[in-house]
Chain A
């Protein structure tokens, strides 16, 4: 058990039990599908069952006459309505902006992927809507589809978007000015290791499918959208300003309890705009609940990179240069943050934990007739980590050196460290996390465990890797230069009530992360009051003034920092009130354990005395300060944060079947300071579970015609309880972030970033122990793939 667990009873550093658990454990959560409004109607979307085609006719009259049908909408109803917007514009290596196609709410003229919505039936019941959708007569002239990225870029390939010049979204080079020097370093290298690999396409699959309920109040003209979102304010901005033309003060977006997101609920989706639009058109609340099958063909997918990576080393095994060439699938349309994932969230991480002086990354983003691809837990950083940590292991094999030693030799050891890919790591200690990993994973005991496995007829392998990530997204002025069409600050309003209780309205959103427990721990420590005096409100644009939401492990680093800044303003004002009450100077007031005292005296007033005075200002400096105690702060980070760590996986491979079992998994992370170690451990566990899923089980598969073959949990292998072991996790190595007030770095994505290469490294190691000449197997490492690799 890590030493910090239960080391404190409350406040920062305590493993406080989660207060939100009570409602989730007793069936009284309030998820979007639990919301039912008076007079609510239901929508069912008729979706394309072909990957690419031209709509030649839609006959809706018969369906519209069916019982309970209120109205059937098609693309024609959305002419004049805005396109679903993309939030990031990448500039290519020639200085040109990316190709950016329109993305209609309902298909107009063409369908571009299986699942593209064509028509929407609104009816009195969900069953009536579904029945009527089946009665719509639809003619589609099927067109040749592009699925494979290389084929999509070939001369004469069918175009996903007729009005674009090709299927190439952008050709990005980073850092373009370094290209010649990188190539020269490869010419001069003593050794070059190269590896071609696939980062498999995944589906996020939070357990709660997406839901949207649109509502309209004809008396006030106000629209409300209840939606399964990680960032309701962002949805309000994107949908209001770009799609439907509703100003913020006439549009409220509520994301109540949300059953997991993992990135897939960041984006603005057509169904949200539809329900909001249709509610106004029909003057009825309109509800859509996604089935899991619909989720597979309408939620943004993740990953899907094909990469060639090359590592150059000198005669002493120092890394001298790195060069990568990646094709990144965008799918049929540009989802909200899609262009940023293979570029600024991927290329900037290619230095990893190593002092490689020269790096060049090329990424070609490609349109295909598949579901749009966007951020999934880690978003670009798992792709960067996987290729880098795989090529290092392959280099160690080729050079006959220990893979841990090769990594240690090339570690960055001095901070701050400016990488050749534009970012500056503020803090880290990669030696310490590797030392910790060797201890908790018992690397020294591996040989004995391998011998034991071999006696049982199994091959045992050990895989180790490091990772670095960039979290706390992000300095607004920097991301603005890089193409972001939004700022990436966060806001918080801290409202202190007369009797001392506090409500924090934050733009961060909790969909499993436990903010309702961890955020109060911070304020409780700052003021010296009980955590239970602080309540968090999130997920409603009517509360926090603005919010960029929760993704990229940013909630505590950015949203928490905004809350700290607002609380600092509260404390400053409270001290003035306390000074007045005690007839002392402001500068002499100290706050400790919820008591304001005058330095050097025994005079004190309690937190509650001061808060009461703020609202009952009978004895109060009204000429100097206003009554009341409520403050708002916006926090814009000055840099990313850089969590890092080292992971180890031990696998057993059945040589008869190729089945891989995870025998042990250990993670040593450096997240900087920790607020709630129990929650941090849970975040790492979940990330590792998803990383093992990617490495062994999960793969989203299309056939050559663009049919989605993995469209249910029957076909898409989700990790289950007996696919994973207990994990050994540790975060006692802590190098605090230097540029945010809590010194925190973020922990939400680490597990998913750090774990896939450890698994693959371990399987390759296991197979080589049996003399198999295997250097790489593409994920997922299914028994069939592993068995085939063993046959040579």
Chain B
């Protein structure tokens, strides 16, 4: 076992891990932060997306030890301290961009990374960017719409919620 230390949502976090321990396991099991989910074992589904040093990362495809000293951001740190949802989270609720909620943390974290690099993405750009995030409930309609709305675009002409 090796000690690993990182910053998670602005707070220092550390724990003992095996060399094979994945970042997602460290978050979920060592730190008890279960907001980040595991939906597959081939890095396809994106339910485990977090930000490491500002970049979207599939936390099932990174060892905990590789995040030594890194700044990690997860879904638990997205809302304000008083629970107020951020712009992306609020748009997902407003536009019914989630149903079962299991893919949602990864979707929100991916959307945040997209909008950081591309503040006004087109529908096609959003769909392309979400290639690594699977959702089985929504048919993606309201996810794409919510991200467009979160970026300040007028979505009223798009078919119903």
Contact = CB atoms under 8 A, between A and B. Distances in A.
Interface of A: 1-2, 5, 15, 17-18, 20-29, 31, 33-34, 36, 127, 205-209, 257-260, 262, 291-293, 511-514, 677-679, 681-682, 685-690, 692, 712-714, 718-722, 724, 726-730, 751
Contacts of A712: 40-42, 44
B96 to A, nearest CB: 5
A257 B134 CA distance: 19
Contact of B139 (A258, A689, A713): A689
Contacts of A26: 35, 75-76, 78-79, 83, 85, 89
Interface in B126-150: 126-128, 130-131, 133-145
Given A22-B93, A29-B101, A721-B126, A726 B134 contact: no
Contacts of A291: 41
Contact of B44 (A5, A20, A714): A714
A27 B74 contact: yes
B160 interface: yes
Interface of B: 18, 20, 28-29, 33-42, 44-45, 47, 74-76, 78-79, 83, 85, 89, 92-94, 96, 98-105, 108, 123-124, 126-128, 130-131, 133-145, 156, 158-161
Contact of B137 (A5, A209, A260, A714): A260
Given A27-B105, A714-B42, A208 B159 contact: no
A22 B100 CA distance: 12
Contact of B47 (A2, A205, A207): A207
A260 B41 contact: no
B85 A25 contact: yes
B98 A258 contact: no
Contacts of B18: 127
Contact of B138 (A5, A25, A511, A682): A682
A24 B98 CA distance: 8
9 contacts: A26-B75, A27-B35, A33-B37, A36-B29, A207-B100, A292-B40, A512-B137, A682-B142, A722-B127
B99 A513 contact: yes
A208 B102 contact: yes
Nearest to A295: B40
Contact of A685 (B29, B103, B142): B142
Given A27-B35, A712-B40, A721-B133, A681 B105 contact: no
B99 A686 contact: yes
Given A2-B160, A5-B161, A292-B41, A20 B101 contact: yes
Contacts, number: 209
Nearest to B123: A726
Nearest to A4: B160
Contact of B96 (A18, A714, A727): A18
Contact of B93 (A1, A25, A724, A728): A25
A692 B139 CA distance: 9
B130 A726 contact: no
Given A15-B161, A682-B141, 16 more contacts: A5-B160, A18-B93, A25-B78, A25-B89, A28-B76, A34-B28, A127-B20, A207-B103, A209-B39, A512-B100, A682-B96, A713-B44, A724-B139, A724-B141, A726-B144, A726-B145
B137 A686 contact: yes
Contacts of A207: 37, 39, 45, 47, 100, 102-103, 134-137
B2 to A, nearest CB: 15
A722 B130 contact: yes
Contacts of B93: 17-18, 21-22, 25
Contacts of B47: 207
B85 A22 contact: yes
A403 B62 CA distance: 53
Contacts of A681: 96, 160-161
Given A5-B161, A292-B42, A24 B104 contact: yes
A293 B42 CA distance: 9
A767 to B, nearest CB: 25
Contacts of B134: 207, 713, 718, 720
B138 to A, nearest CB: 5
Give 9 closest A-B pairs by Cβ, nearest first.
A27-B35, A689-B139, A24-B101, A259-B102, A512-B100, A512-B99, A713-B44, A27-B75, A34-B34
B41 A688 contact: no
A512 B136 CA distance: 10
A721 B28 CA distance: 27
Contacts of A714: 42, 44
A33 B102 CA distance: 11
